Amino acid sequence: MTFLLLIAVGAMPPRIIPLHPTTSVIILNQWLLNEASARRAPLLRMIRFSEDAKLADNRGIIAVTNENHTVTAIATLVHPPLTLVDLATTTGDSGTLLMKALVTTTRSIELSDNIDDRWKVAFMFYSS
């Protein structure tokens, strides 16, 4: 019985948390170092967004963390209207989880033109 309890406690589900702009910039810069050139543009956009979010009340950043408290996905949002500006992830699963949570939580969310096509497909899937 004790063995089963340890397994259940050890497997914590991912969490969606608010992320401070300064923390977001640090994490995105780390991701940028390991990214191929084709995927650098969205990360650079998100870094600029995060730096501007320090001064703007209408911008927000949320993240997915895993059981090790490592950030695996970051989304940038702006309002009004509530718009997903960009989404970056180190794992496809965490980005999908974040998209599903956003779409199923509020039906009034919009997508910016910057969003990668894979997230547009996930948005359509979860919103239907």
Q: pLDDT digit string (tens) for 14-63?
A: 899 999 999 999 999 999 998 877 678 889 999 999 999 988 999 999 99
Which pTM value belongs to this model? 0.87
With tokens 């994490």, the residue in question is: 27
Q: pLDDT digit string (tens) for 76-108?
A: 999 999 999 999 999 889 999 999 999 999 889
Tell me the percentage of the chain whose pLDDT exceeds 70: 90
Decide yes or no: CATH 3.40.630.30 for domain 12-127: yes
How do the domains of the chain map onto residue ranges? 12-127
